[in-house]
Structure 1
């Protein structure tokens, strides 16, 4: 397959700002969170090449797939096949999402070293997404996390609906903090705070991080996962960076959303994040032209343009 190339862009002027981390880890979710929202199934070969290209661009954490039951996320029904075909690059981590012990069994059989669970900060979304109450979801995850840790796996905990819920409305920061603490106590080494419907603003980010700190979960254990529904993903990310968060979830080309929340649009585009980090002089290890090339290619595979502003600007500079 011929690979389209993007010319080397004029990178942003580097103007460091005080109070920011020297380096940020980009937790790339495009192959899982990005593709799970597609109306059709993306072939395994395309997914494998997508992950290969992302690794070649310098990304070192690539969430590869999910072992959620195919009935719920049919786009990822090929998880076992994908992991068997995957070319695991040196120094690259390929976490997978597991919903329960059966999913963990499949992950262990596939030789996975890093898994993630997906909890909710709200009652309604826990019932809609997991068919469990708020408390029941933690009871379901506890044996999954315990077994994973006993097997030597790293475990990440996602908390969704941290900044608002389409059914319940505003979500109290203390409620988010309580859910995060329960996952940490369970054994999760990192908690990703998700703005599933993209309603958060920078002051709201501060309030959630304050609540987590008060409840005993410091920024060293936290990542952020912003959706750009209202154009706030980058500003919210900058707010989190100013508070000391050093892991940011993003999706190449801005792919994805949430299949269970109709108002959720795409994730923060990795290219948009990289452009901002480059301008701030923050290290991240990603080669932007290669990443843009990857998202241009994937957009062609999906038959529609990338929603990332940076991809659009650099792929068609005229």
Structure 2
């Protein structure tokens, strides 16, 4: 299959990445990172999460983050809203796109949100409906699409079933998440083959973790299969909480470097992105999780 001519990058570092980083994190630091990412050309940025600070303390003050961001008509700033309370807070903050999370693993769903997959989806249904009524777009995430830390391998059909329900409730895009980073290109190929029978390519995104160093190979396989939306995290922010010492999200710098080499358009200035990754890594007192960032820094 011919590779896509252009790709949409969904930058998840300010939410999915930072929520798993240790150390103090101020609203000002988060805003500075998001602005730097927008300046680098990223047009879809997960900027926060409206969840209880008790559960995700790093995302406290997301309303202040959204209030502080410069209005940029060309940039979509999205937020995770797992329940009605979160959605109401997001709407009050002027958020234009929200996300809900499902899982393809019953064990993961039970351990993380103490309910079955079906129960979790029923919780999201009124959230999605209210968001759409308010003119807010809804994106769906599916965790553990290939493997689960508690259950092991996940059948592609389980992912298809969750994806169909998320689409039915009005999600415009489904992000397929390899939460523990155990996927390989062959497994991604089998997964996408199954999902593509029911879901159009333009409604699919991939969200790979690099725990076993396979994320870029998996992204290339997804590109070969016509996927043109990729989630990634600047400087590889966000460890994997389910695998001790493992890396988390694939670094945006790596993805952009790959796309540059393939001649695929993406609209991101790699040099500016590298600077943003170096700055947030220094602020957090951590090593830069991007090999490209370290090489170009």
TM-score range, shorter chain: over 0.9
Could you report, residue by residue, the CA deviation over 1:55-91 in whole angstroms, capped at 9, with x for unpaired residues? 0000000100001111111010111121122223231
Q: CA deviation at 1:303?
A: 0.6
Aligned counterparts of 2:136 and 2:6: Cα–Cα separation in 1: 25
Q: Are 2:11 and 1:28 equivalent residues in the alignment?
A: yes
Cα RMSD between the aligned structures?
Answer: 1.2
- Paired residues of 1:277 and 1:283 also in contact (CA < 8 A): yes
Provide the rounded CA distance (Å) in 2 between the counterparts of 1:66 and 1:105.
Answer: 12
Quote the offset at 1:262 in angstroms.
3.9
Cα deviation, residue 114, structure 1: 0.4
Gaps of 5+ in 2: none
2:200 matches 1:218: yes
2:20·2:238 contact (CA, 8 Å) conserved in 1? yes
Superposition misfits of 4+ residues, deviation over 2 angstroms? 261-265
- Per the alignment, residue 218 of structure 2 pairs with 236
What is the match of residue 201 of structure 1? 184
Cα displacement string for residues 244-278 of structure 1 (whole angstroms, at most 9, x for unaligned residues) = 1110000001111454x345632010000000000
Contact conserved, 2:21 with 2:237, CA < 8 A, in 1?
Answer: no
Which of the numbers 91, 99, 102 marks the counterpart of 1:119? 102
Query: Which residue does 2:164 correspond to in 1?
Result: 181
* Structure 1 residue 60 corresponds to structure 2 residue 60: no
C-alpha distance in 1, partners of 2:81/2:113? Answer: 12
d(CA) in 1 for partners of 2:121, 2:145: 16
Could you tell me which residue of structure 1 aligns to residue 62 of structure 2?
79
| CA displacement 1:103-142 (0-9 Å, x = unmatched) | 0000111111100001111111112222221110011001
Determine the structure 1 residue equivalent to 2:91: 108
Q: In the alignment, is the contact (CA less than 8 A) between 2:77 and 2:95 conserved in 1? A: yes
**Contact 1:226/1:267 (8 A) holds in 2:** yes
Give the greater-gyration-radius structure (CA). 1
1:228 and 1:265 in contact (8 A); partners too: yes
Are the counterparts in 2 of residues 33 and 258 from structure 1 also a CA contact under 8 Å? Answer: no
Contact 2:47 2:79 in 1 (8 A): yes
1:155 maps to 2:138: yes
Corresponding residue for residue 7 of structure 1: none
- The separation in 2 between residues aligned to 1:136 and 1:41, in whole angstroms, is 34
Alignment partner, residue 308 of structure 1: 290
Asked which structure has the greater RCO (Cα within 8 Å, sep 6+), the reply is 1
Where does residue 249 of structure 2 map in the other structure?
267
* Structure 1 counterpart of 2:264: 282
| CA distance in 1 between partners of 2:247 and 2:191 (Å) | 22
TM-score when normalising by structure 1: 0.91
Count of aligned pairs between the two proteins: 296
Query: Which stretch shifts more, 157-166 or 130-139?
Result: 130-139
The 1-side partners of 2:155 and 2:208 are apart by: 17
Q: Aligned equivalents of 2:48 and 2:190: distance in 1?
A: 32
CA distance in 1, matches of 2:24, 2:202: 37
State the shift of 1:179 in Å.
0.7
SS of the aligned residue for 1:26 comes to strand
Assess, with a 3 A threshold, how the Cα gap between structure 1 residues 258 and 128 changes in structure 2: closer, same or farther.
farther
Partner of 1:3: none
